[in-house]
Amino acid sequence: MRRKDRAITDPARIQEIFDRCDHLVLTMEDGDYPYAVPLSFGYKKTGDQYTLYVHCAQEGKKMDLLKQNPNVGLCLARTEAILTADIACKYSARFESVIGTGKVTFLTGLEEKKEALTHIIQKYNDGAPITFQEAAVEKTAVAAISLLSYEAKANF
pLDDT digits (tens, 9 = 90+) for 7-55: 999 999 999 999 999 999 999 999 999 999 999 999 999 998 999 999 9
Q: How far is CA 90 from the centre of its chain?
A: 30
Residues 54/133, Cβ–Cβ less than 8 Å = no
Give tens-digit pLDDT for 61-92: 999 999 999 999 999 999 888 888 989 888 88
Closest by alpha carbon to 17, among 47, 46, 52? 52
CATH number of 105's domain: 2.30.110.10
pLDDT for the residue numbered 79: 85
Domain that residue 109 falls in = 4-155
Which amino acid is located at 57 in the chain? A
Q: How far is CA 44 from the centre of its chain?
A: 11
CA count, 13 A, side-chain hemisphere, 105: 10
Which segments of the chain are extended strands (E)?
7-8, 24-30, 33-39, 42-46, 49-56, 71-83, 92-107, 141-155
C-alpha 81/C-alpha 72 separation (Å) is 29
pLDDT for the residue numbered 3: 79
What's the pTM?
0.91
**Environment class of 65 (CB within 10 Å of its CB; exposed 0-12, middle 13-18, buried 19+):** buried
Residues 76/134, Cβ–Cβ less than 8 Å = no
Other Cβ atoms within 10 Å of 29 Cβ, number: 15
Which amino acid is located at 139 in the chain? K
